[in-house]
Amino acid sequence: MALETAGVPAVAVHAPIFEGVARSVAQMNGMPTTRQAFVPQTIMGRTPVELRAFLERNDPVSKRPLMQEIMEGLTGPLTEEDLKGVSFERTTPRLLEPDTEERLHELFIKNSWTDFLPIVLPTEERVARMLSGTSHPPDEVVGRLRPTSGREYWEFTVEKVAVNAVMAGARPEYLPVILALAASGMSARSSSTTSFATISLVNGPIRKEIGMNCGIGALGPYNHANATIGRAYGLLSQNLQGGSVPGDTYMGSLGNWYAYSATIAENEERSPWEPFHVQHGFKSEDSTVSTFLGGWYTQALFGTRDTWEQKLRHCLTACEPYLAPLLVLDPLAARGLVERGLETKKKLINWCAENARLTAREYWDNPWTQTLIRPLALAGVEPYATHLEAAPDEMLRMFRNQDINVVVTGGETTSAWRMIGASYRGNTISIERWR
Amino acid sequence: MDQRLTVHDPRGYPPKVTAKRLAPRKETLEGKLIYLVDCLFDNSDVFMDQMRQWFAEHLPAVRTQIVRPGSLREFTPSKSWADDPEMLAKIRADGDGAILGVGL
């Protein structure tokens, strides 16, 4: 659409499953008649011969020859609608029409405003009580979010965040954490076809103030604050960004369980290493929340027995090379590594970066290194440019040191590890700002 | 009769949508330059190369050139390779049309 507005006729080609999204994005950009064409099927994994055959077949949407559709899109006469585009304003009211509790619950489900678990209806009284958790005025703009590129950003206020916090069942004292997440600019409902989720990590004194769990069951449904903060982050993301509806504003092929609720607190008191937020320039007395985009894979390890290095190498090699691991360790596992000479998180990260290796053939034979890393390599960004020059059997480091992260949490009932695909993008936000 | 409740709307505030018109079309593409934009999703390069060959065989009077985004230094899901400003500037400078693909 940027090309059309600059005076260059354009046709965008998509797989047919994206028809709804393509039309919707065109509408929301004020150009509903944007010329689109559709190949018969997704092109991923198809041979050159198969792709050539696609060009000779019909567009499955228009039922006309694909190349004819494309050529006419570039040359055909414009209609009045093409020349005019479409303008409109949408508003979202502050309050909904009064109704019974049962019918309001049905309305929220029908409009895809929930995660399909029961919600708390955001009455005026409940939202006012939630707002007592912050000193910020209800009409202050917190930020803006969108599910993916191509979509428009939606804006939201402190009150709108509080509304979603009520729906998730959160308490007013959690609101500064939830506001910090909302202000992060990172959606917990990314529309990526790869089904990203967003995992959040809380550090600092607020963990204890609001009673978060970083002991037994730290990653599970065993604490009110952990569970409802994570859920609020998901609900506010979908509702404040303009939706997360399959086939329209959500295209993750498999979806992701982490998207229900994935907020953890670091067990700073029992960790032998410095807390995550201190690693990233904050003081230990600061309260922060950090976000990690990912959740594609989870692997498990236990203990540091004689063959721990081989097991760790196997797990690292099994990671997706595009998405580096977040290592989540029980304090027992962390102390076991200290006894093996890894006295700091940095030493563990360096060990992982050094030992996570794949042949260049395997590294590049991957849809996401091809799609997301190869362009960087072609643009000369290191180490990817050098990776691209490697011989097929050369062993490449899968991750840069700065891509690997370590967090300590858990209740010391066993020496457990988790390795979760999750990317940290320097997104650690002060919670103090939102008190 | 059931009690009626007043509750908040949970949605954020969408921006105003402003109309944009399509670019003027040329009557013919003969002798014109069409950029084939490889959007970098897996196999798009192969697809665009097949399209280049299709033009060479069926419409040899139409000039085609494959172009890829190349100036971006990082990827995030909130950005698109197709937003690469250097690539867009190149197409705007001398392109008579563009075919973008494949958006998965």
pLDDT for residue B74: 62
* Tokens linked to A123: 């009455």
ipTM: 0.91
Helix (H) or strand (E) holding A291: strand A288-302
Q: How confident is the model at residue A257 (pLDDT cuts 50, 70, 90)?
A: very high
**pLDDT grade, residue A103 (50/70/90)?**
very high
Across residues A32-47, what is the average pLDDT? Answer: 92
pLDDT for the residue numbered B76: 58
Which residues 6+ apart lie within 8 Å of A69 measured at CB? A11, A37, A59, A62
Q: Which residue of A has its CA nearest to B52?
A: A52
Q: A 173-232 residues with CB below 8 A of B?
A: 187, 190-193, 196
Residue A113: its pLDDT value, please?
98
Chain B touched by A80 (CB under 8 Å):
no
Contact of A112 with chain B, judged by CB distance below 8 Å, is answered with: no
Q: Tell me if the pTM is above 0.80.
A: yes
Q: Tell me phi and psi for residue A143, to 5 degrees.
A: 170, -160
Q: A305-309, A354-358, A411-415: which range is least confident on average?
A: A305-309
8 Å CB contact of B15 and A155? yes
Question: Among all residues of chain A, which has the CA nearest to that of B43?
Answer: A44
In whole angstroms, give the CA distance from residue B77 to residue B93: 28
The pLDDT of residue A371 is above 90: no
Shortest Cα–Cα distance, B63 to chain A (Å): 13
pLDDT level of residue B1 (50, 70, 90 thresholds): low
Amino acid A187: pLDDT: 96
Q: Is B46 on the interface with A (CB under 8 A)?
A: yes
| pLDDT band at A264; cut points 50, 70, 90 | very high
Query: Which of the residues B26, B62, B78 would you substitute to probe the A interface, choosing the one with the greatest number of A C-beta atoms within 10 Å?
Result: B78
A61 touches chain B (CB under 8 A): no
pLDDT digits (tens, 9 = 90+) for A201-245: 999 999 999 999 999 999 999 999 999 999 999 999 999 999 999
Q: What is the pLDDT of residue A151?
A: 87
pLDDT in the model for residue A110: 98
As a whole number, mean pLDDT of residues B74-94 equals 75
Residue B75 — very low, low, confident or very high, per pLDDT cuts 50/70/90? low
* Contacts with B, A 304-343, CB within 8 Å: none
| Mean pLDDT over each residue of chain B, to the nearest integer | 87
Which residue from B minimizes the CA distance to A86?
A: B19
**Chain B partners of A43 at a C-beta cutoff of 8 Å?**
41-44, 46-47, 102
* A2/A326 Cα distance (integer angstroms): 37
Average pLDDT over residues A117-130: 98
A8 and B4 within 8 Å at the Cβ level: the answer is no
Residue A185 has pLDDT above 60, yes or no: yes
CB pair distance less than 8 Å for A379 and B68: no
Determine what percent of chain A is predicted with pLDDT higher than 70: 100
Using pLDDT thresholds of 50, 70 and 90, give the confidence band for residue A28. Answer: confident
A25 near A150, Cβ under 8 Å?
yes
From B9, B46, B76, residue closest to A96, measured CB to CB: B9
CA distance A83 to A161: 39
User: Given this model, what pLDDT does residue A372 score?
Assistant: 85
Closest CA to A234 of A116, A350, A148: A116
Q: Is residue A295 less than 8 Å (CB to CB) from chain B? A: no
Chain A residues close to B64, C-beta within 8 Å: none
The answer on pLDDT for B77 being more than 80 is no
Shortest alpha-carbon distance between residue B39 and chain A (Å): 9
Helix (H, G, I), strand (E, B) or coil at A60: coil
Q: What is the pLDDT of residues A47-99, one digit of tens each?
A: 999 999 999 999 999 999 999 999 999 998 999 888 888 888 888 999 999 99
In this prediction, residue A410 has a pLDDT band, given cuts at 50, 70 and 90, of: very high
Query: Would you state the pLDDT for residue B80?
Result: 62
Q: What are the backbone dihedrals phi and psi of residue B99, each rounded to the nearest 5 degrees, phi first?
A: -120, 120
* Separation in Å, CA of A410 to nearest CA in chain B: 31
Asked if B66 and B52 count as a contact pair (C-beta separation under 8 A), the reply is yes
A88 interface with B at CB cutoff 8 Å: yes
Tell me the CB-side half-sphere exposure of residue B17, using CA atoms within 13 A.
22
Q: B70 or A331, which is more confident?
A: A331
Q: Which residues of A touch B101 (CB under 8 A)?
A: 12-14, 39
State chain A's mean pLDDT as an integer.
Answer: 95
